[in-house]
Structure 1
């Protein structure tokens, strides 16, 4: 993890077919852009954009943005995707299979522009690399609107409410607010069910291990990972780290003595290797999580703002409080 616009009459015809020669004496069942909630102005990570109609040629960069789009039923609005960390969720596999994969990681400027997107949705700041001509300002000059997942620029702690806001905003941008409302309601219901199971439990001390051999790259208190731990009946021992992620020494991990270590599974380092490293690390030999081999695994895509967060909270809660789920 250490880690041109189509416009004018053609676009109007694509989006508002009834206004381009449809029958019925000038009437149509297709809502106008005003009825869909346009124009709609979004302030996103320092960039302000006014949408007068839904994007029609979107490219998603990073898996969690791709799955949000597919969960909202927006496959027909996508012309490309890039950078997957995990297998696509089974319920979106068919739709995802019909979207062109532009690159294994991030596409070059040339490849991205060849898809003729009118909207690029990035999951991480690295999606908009200025040095590669993919900065948001540069894309705007090519007539391409952009949106960055708000976990990258949130002013305060990121929570499941922030996740709802992310999905709600994307739903508004694409003119499908009702779909977004239904999706967030289902997600909120999953979290509420978990919280009900955990009523009265004693919080468990938790540390996240993302990666690292000389130091531990861990989840701090500012990202969704911290809130997920709280919602799952835990306490993040590095919640005082005032950022989403940061490095801490293994001696610090030992001092804070987590009862459970959550491993983020992704990348070239295998899960088996990460487990073996933690369990054999001399600095961690007296840590309760290591002594009792209490390791919970989450795929990376489940630990960032997206549709997987509620299910990940449930998985985490089951690992922290198995007795509550028997």
Structure 2
């Protein structure tokens, strides 16, 4: 009996050892397969069709430079600061949740860096927020950078007329795809949707949409938002952009035309050397614009350009507008 028990014990021991070895081999095989899949994903060919540029990526960019604030914030929100060698052109303060990541990336210039600075940084990818980023007057054209083996991406939602929220998401997905962080891209979009829903669900229903005039700049004639993303934000906030019927992103309008449309609220785009307070003082002092209901009732909302742009701060922009449009509800 004793010998039989000993034999059974030895067989069990051998079985357990073989099972452990088999399990270890299986785990190592899974880890090996995961590493292989990851490596394959990093080098698979990706084609991105972006504003008449079809770019083929076989490697993840490792030395990226962002050229405008809202696209800088997209890069940082995707956790790509370690893949960046520079940023440029802040409109105002960086979005607070991204400040720590932003501080890890060198600032190349207060506005656009020179082509020489970009070459010196050994950049392999440029991300522009506005079409001005890739003009001969500012930095250089995309064709010039391509000749230097530097790829580029231009934020489509910032240059196309009447961009939607989905257009911003398409840009985020493209960047996430280029850098092979698609899961982060989808997570970011989900978080943005949740934040937006939390704001819009609190907005009161209005029988008549509030008539809103977006004041960007100007003293003789006025630069205003027409069908850019500011128009989308105003609409999402349940109001009506009084110049939203013009098919362009921005337009220059006369003071008389602005007065004729009788805006009840003015959104001040806050950026640049002229402060929002100075813009409000101008509106109050101007003989024509001071006659609008918005100015006479001192109905102003100050919105930072960085929040109004086609980036990750949609919920923040909506909250600012909602609190300004419907102060009784907040």
Which category of TM-score, normalised to the shorter sequence, fits these structures?
0.7 to 0.9
What pairs with 1:116-135 in structure 2 (closer than 5 Å)? Answer: 116-131=122-137, 134-135=140-141
Of residues 67, 75, 81, the one that matches 1:69 is 75
Q: For each residue in 1:136-191, what CA deviation from the matched residue of structure 2 results, as whole angstroms up to 9, or x when unmatched?
A: 0010011110000113442x520111111111111111111111111111111222
Partner of 2:327: 322
Contact 2:196 2:315 in 1 (8 A): yes
The answer to which structure has the higher helix fraction is 2
What pairs with 1:218-237 in structure 2 (closer than 5 Å)? Answer: 218-221=224-227, 223-237=228-242
Question: Secondary structure of 1:269's partner?
Answer: coil
Partner of 1:309: 314
Question: Secondary structure of 1:130's partner?
Answer: coil
Q: Hey, what's the Cα distance between the residues in 1 that align with 2:171 and 2:181?
A: 13
Summarize the Cα distance change of 1:322–1:136 in structure 2 as closer, same or farther, 3 Å threshold: same
Partner of 1:164: 169
Matched, 1:100 2:106: yes
Contact 1:208 1:262 in 2 (8 A): yes
Q: Hey, what's the Cα distance between the residues in 2 that align with 1:215 and 1:227?
A: 23
Question: Secondary structure of 1:147's partner?
Answer: strand
* Alignment size in residue pairs: 300
Contact 1:37 1:172 in 2 (8 A): no
Summarize the Cα distance change of 1:123–1:288 in structure 2 as closer, same or farther, 3 Å threshold: same
Gaps of 5+ in 1: 1-23
Contact 1:254 1:287 in 2 (8 A): yes
Contact 1:62 1:82 in 2 (8 A): yes
State the shift of 1:98 in Å: 1.7
State the shift of 1:34 in Å: 4.2
Partner of 1:19: none
Matched, 1:298 2:303: yes
Q: For each residue in 1:211-236, what CA deviation from the matched residue of structure 2 results, as whole angstroms up to 9, or x when unmatched?
A: 00011110002x11100000011100
Contact 1:233 1:321 in 2 (8 A): no
Contact 1:33 1:39 in 2 (8 A): no
Partner of 2:6: none
TM-score by length of structure 1 reads 0.87
Question: Secondary structure of 2:288's partner?
Answer: helix
Q: Hey, what's the Cα distance between the residues in 2 that align with 1:284 and 1:46?
A: 41
Q: For each residue in 1:224-271, what CA deviation from the matched residue of structure 2 results, as whole angstroms up to 9, or x when unmatched?
A: 110000001110000111111111111111100111000001111122
Contact 1:106 1:127 in 2 (8 A): yes
Of residues 203, 209, 216, the one that matches 2:215 is 209
Contact 1:109 1:134 in 2 (8 A): yes
Q: For each residue in 1:288-318, what CA deviation from the matched residue of structure 2 results, as whole angstroms up to 9, or x when unmatched?
A: 1101100000111111110112210121012
Partner of 2:18: none
State the shift of 1:133 in Å: 6.0
Contact 1:45 1:148 in 2 (8 A): yes
Q: Hey, what's the Cα distance between the residues in 1 that align with 2:289 and 2:278?
A: 16
Q: Hey, what's the Cα distance between the residues in 2 that align with 1:304 and 1:292?
A: 27
Q: Hey, what's the Cα distance between the residues in 1 that align with 2:310 and 2:64?
A: 19
Partner of 1:189: 194
Q: Hey, what's the Cα distance between the residues in 1 that align with 2:139 and 2:203?
A: 48
Contact 1:261 1:294 in 2 (8 A): yes
TM-score by length of structure 2 reads 0.86
Q: Hey, what's the Cα distance between the residues in 1 that align with 2:120 and 2:295?
A: 50
Question: Secondary structure of 1:323's partner?
Answer: helix
Of residues 55, 78, 85, the one that matches 1:79 is 85
Gaps of 5+ in 2: 1-27
Summarize the Cα distance change of 1:127–1:199 in structure 2 as closer, same or farther, 3 Å threshold: same
State the shift of 1:32 in Å: 2.9
